[in-house]
């Protein structure tokens, strides 16, 4: 089911699920100052900040592919959910040594 483009919390939840499904994304990141988040009832969606005219996404990625390829893939996945908002992807860290499909953290 598509997230309601008018509800930032639902948009953020859907985007977070989509981003962590990308093969080179290890985890979402709220950024160094914790500003990449969207408040929702009972908490927040860490790593996705839905604004009126844009979306900011913070990620930790796996070492190996060019970062511009990874961010382009993430933008492509999120564009249909963004309802015309610009999508800005911030790579907060790059992790090496994880191997094939293993993920750090959780």
Helix (H, G, I), strand (E, B) or coil at 85: coil
| % of the chain exceeding 90 in pLDDT | 85
Domain annotation covers residue 103: no
Closest CA to 94 of 57, 69, 59: 59
Q: Which residue has the higher pLDDT, 58 or 3?
A: 58
| % of the chain exceeding 70 in pLDDT | 88
The CATH code of the domain that includes 21 is 3.30.70
Question: Can you give the residue range of the structural domain that contains 43?
Answer: 8-95
Residue 51 has a pLDDT of 96
Domain annotation covers residue 19: yes
Are the C-beta atoms of 98 and 62 separated by less than 8 Å? yes
Residue 97 has a pLDDT of 84
Domain annotation covers residue 56: yes
Domain annotation covers residue 51: yes
Domain annotation covers residue 1: no
Domain count within the chain: 1
Residue 99 has a pLDDT of 67
Domain annotation covers residue 77: yes
Closest CA to 65 of 94, 36, 105: 94
Domain annotation covers residue 3: no
The mean pLDDT of 5-15, rounded to a whole number, is 91
The two beta strands, 54-62 and 86-95, are: parallel
Instruction: Flag whether pLDDT at 93 surpasses 90.
Output: yes
């Amino acid at each position: 089911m598509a997230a309601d483009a008018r509800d930032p919390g639902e948009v953020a939840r859907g985007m977070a699920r989509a981003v962590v499904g990308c093969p080179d994304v290890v985890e979402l990141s709220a950024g160094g100052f914790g500003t990449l988040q969207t408040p929702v009832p009972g908490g927040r969606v860490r790593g996705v900040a839905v604004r009126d005219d844009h979306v900011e996404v913070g990620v930790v990625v796996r070492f190996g592919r060019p970062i511009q390829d990874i961010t382009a893939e993430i933008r492509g996945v999120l564009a249909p959910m963004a309802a015309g908002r610009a999508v800005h992807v911030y790579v907060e860290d790059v992790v090496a040594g994880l191997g094939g499909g293993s993920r750090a953290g959780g």
